[in-house]
Amino acid sequence: MNRAAQGFQDLYGSPPEGVWAAPGRVNLIGEHTDYNDGFALPFALPQRTEVAAARRTDRELRLHSADVPSGVVTLDLTDLTPGGTPRGPAGWTAYPAGVAWALLEAGLPVGGADLYVRSDVPTGAGLSSSAALEVATAMALTELYGIPLPGAELATLARRAENAYVGVPCGVMDQMASACSSAGHALHLDTRTLEQRHIPFDCAASGLRLLVIDTRVKHDLADGAYAARRSSCHRAAAALGLPALRDLAYADLPEALSRLTDPIGRRRVRHIVTENERVLRVEAELRAGRLRAAGPLLTEGHASLRDDYEVSCPELDLAVATANAAGAYGARMTGGGFGGSALALIDAEAEAEVTRAVEGAFAAAGFTAPHVTRAVPAAGAARIL
């Protein structure tokens, strides 16, 4: 039997009605563009969060995670209140509770449920474990109550839960990647219209690998730095008379920069506009089957995040520099930054050498040993049982 289903049965004494799974993600390129109505190119990882669930006849939501020692947390759907994220081990329950709240807020007739969660998406690694939990929960509750929703709607509700209930001001990229990705493809995402294009991305067929280097530096998006980036982008767009930085064309960047007086705002704008352009260029290289040619664009994106957007950290910079020096075609931090993971695009045969080089450089710098794994584009959320 599926392990989440078995865990559910052991805990609640009867089998679940179904099991839903949603993946973590890495973002190939297009960082911090999603709250500027821009473009991103994420893909889903094989690591996923499973939610085994069954309806209840009352308004209770019972939550248990196999990965956190929080026991069974019981909440009443009628008293869910945004902003009340519990501290300590039960903190994770804000995500499924927030999803239930967002579904009810949207007028969807979901009721009580028992949930059993297990996940192999690493937490705090910048691989969107929270989006995976939100999307799996949203899919479970809506399907249990006979109101299945398309991926983009699940993602929008999951993001609403994270913004308004949990209090993290994220964009929609992570939830869209988790809900809408398809195996073997990167997801080109227009975060203004939620229009999606599935771009074939098969590293193995080109003799390549994409490594994920988890620096083990935990990032925390609720921390003010993310919100500060977001507000400087919105201020700059307003100063330029634009609805969002997405509306600033690459060709008009020099003129727009000359109109901005705040040097920090100028750097933030330069990152967003050049990053949107890099997403389009990487997409074009993938479509043309020139995966290696995407490498330098990844490294350029990293420099922009490090110097203009100022969201990198010494561990991410070292991972990128070392991978590149060991022969990677390109490398960059992925996700929100301030820790989490980096990506490196390498020849398949170079895997051991690049991994050794990165591990050696971390040891020499006195950093915690990184976790190096391969990323293969996997499918988005689905019912698995």
**Footprint of ligand GLA (CB under 6 A):** 31-32, 34-35, 170-171, 173-174, 221, 335-336
Cβ atoms 173, 27 nearer than 8 A: yes
Q: Which is nearer to ligand GLA, 32 or 48 (CB)?
A: 32
- Shortest Å distance, C-beta 136 to ligand GLA: 16
Enter the DSSP assignment of 90: G
Q: Residue 182, exposed/middle/buried by CB under 10 A (0-12, 13-18, 19+)?
A: middle
Q: Which amino acid is at 261?
A: T
Beta-carbon contacts of 384 under 8 Å, excluding residues fewer than 6 positions away, are: 2, 19, 20, 21, 50
Residues in the chain: 385
Compute the least distance from the CB of residue 370 to ligand GLA, in Å: 19
From the CB of 126, what's the least distance to ligand GLA, in Å? 7
Please provide residue 76's backbone torsions phi and psi, each rounded to the nearest 5 degrees.
-105, 125
Instruction: Using the minimum distance from each CB to ligand GLA, give the nearer residue, 7 or 330.
Output: 330
CB of 27 vs ligand GLA, minimal distance in Å:
6
Residue with tokens 């902003």: 83
* 8 Å CB contact between 327 and 353: yes
Which C-beta is closer to ligand GLA: that of 35 or that of 95? 35
Catalytic annotation, pick one of 37, 174, 214, 308: 174
**Which H or E run contains 196?**
strand 196-200
In the bound state with ligand GLA, the residue whose beta carbon lies nearer, of 330 and 337, is 337
| DSSP labels, 287-325 | HTT-HHHHHHHHHHHHHIIIIIS----HHHHHHHHHHHH
For ligand GLA, the closer of residues 12 and 309 by Cβ is: 309
Q: Which among 44, 36, 30, 33 is positioned nearest to 127, based on CA atoms?
A: 44
Q: Which is nearer to ligand GLA, 82 or 124 (CB)?
A: 124
Q: How far is the CB of 128 from ligand GLA (least distance, A)?
A: 6
Which of 78, 68, 67 is closest to 105 using CA atoms? Answer: 78
Q: How far is the CB of 240 from ligand GLA (least distance, A)?
A: 21
Report CA-CA distances (Å) from 41 to 250, 334, 374: 18, 11, 18
- Which amino acid is present at 275? E
To the query of whether residue 202 is one of the catalytic residues in this protein, the response is: no
Active site residues: 174
